[in-house]
Amino acid sequence: MIESWRWFGPEDPISLQDVRQTGAVGIVTALHDQPNGVVWPREAIRTRREMIEQAGLTWQVVESIPVHEDIKSAASGWERLAQNWAETVKLLAQEGVRTICYNFMPVLDWTRTDLECLLPDGATALRFEFPAYAAFDLFVLKREGAIADYTLEDVEAAERWLADKSDEDVKRLTDTIIAGLPGSEESYTLDQFKERLEAYKGIDREQLFQNLQNFLEIVIPAADEAGAVLAIHPDDPPRPIFGLPRIVSNLEDLHRIKAMHPSVSNGFTVCSGSLGVHADNDLPKIVGELGERVHFMHLRATRREEDPRSFYEDNHLEGDVDMIAVLRVVRCLERELGKEIPMRPDHGHRRLHDLQETSTPGYPAIGRLRGLAELRGAIKAIDHFENP
């Protein structure tokens, strides 16, 4: 596997020289300064690539070219935006960057309710707490019709959560959900968030699947022509939120997307943490069945709580993900395909000096370094015992 590291560009508090010291050889990044929907200038792509190469690294994966909300909702003019997306794929490929991770989650990218959940060892983790999410939906956002999505017990739990929190706690929750987490495509005010949700009224799972297929019919031929591969990322969390449909949450969804276009470039990012939130998702089976369509791996572990809709980010070899089994299947797949698949340690706990340093939420230096070191050791052990 190609050890890679997510880097948020020149403004990232973790420098490329820092990344060199982790042992990673690849960079996963994007031109985060480019507005959604535009064609990325080739000169800007080249400048970023050269910056990475001058640091002794390679730009392995683009994460992400944002898919404009008008594409996802099939709003007027979405075709032009899809053509812009396809043109950016071609320009990236011309600069040697040929793996593109993207997502098709409506309105929000990955969602958490707490960015600093204190763990017993003093480190902090990202967490999704269902009662906090429900309290925001029901009593802060006050989404029309939201009550229908909850049981009486859910509402009571949300009320208890809210009763125990200060105004500052509620503001922090609001900012965490709608202000945009790292890599998210959009950030919103509360009113803007309501407006964006309104744009998806009448769009159910079937319609969102159709919108994705229409998008792929435009961008897959461009990827094939350029020699690039596309890797859709699973929903995070892998279930509907705020009344929005989700279509990349389980193996059935993944097979349906796979069937949308026969090209191998119509592929997947397998995120063990996102998919691992669902107890029914068998990660080794998912990797095995997607086979040559697996173009990128996000390796992290989540741990479900007593209410399995709540979870937090655990250490990379712990939690509910059987990471060793996942790694064994990926290594077997690589041998079959005769190539290495880029991976990155996804998320990490803030620990040690991370706690005193500024870092992007979910992307501290030491927490991810620990994860990468553990994953590297596990892979070497698998290779030693299976191919002595």
Instruction: Catalogue the active-site residues.
Output: 233, 271, 298, 346-347, 363
Six-digit token pair at 178?
Answer: 């709608």
For residue 358, the tally of other CB atoms under 10 A from its CB is 8
- Judge contact between 327 and 382, C-beta under 8 A: yes
- Whose structure tokens read 């059935």? 252
Beta bridge partner(s), residue 272: none
Helix and strand counts by DSSP (H, E) for the chain: 14, 12
Beta bridge partner(s), residue 344: 298
For residue 170, the tally of other CB atoms under 10 A from its CB is 17
Half-sphere exposure of 324 (CA within 13 A, CB side): 9
Q: Exposed, middle or buried by CB within 10 Å (0-12, 13-18, 19+), for 35? A: exposed
Integer Cα distance of 173 and 129 in angstroms: 11
For residue 82, the tally of other CB atoms under 10 A from its CB is 22
Query: In the sheet that 301-304 helps form, which strands lie side by side, from edge to edge?
Result: 114-118, 124-128, 311-314, 301-304
For the chain, the distance separating the N- and C-terminal CA atoms, rounded to the nearest angstrom, is: 18
Six-digit token pair at 304?
Answer: 């479900």
Beta bridge partner(s), residue 23: none
Q: Counting every residue, how long is the chain?
A: 388
Cα dihedral angle (378, 379, 380, 385), rounded to 10 degrees? 90
Q: Exposed, middle or buried by CB within 10 Å (0-12, 13-18, 19+), for 102? A: buried
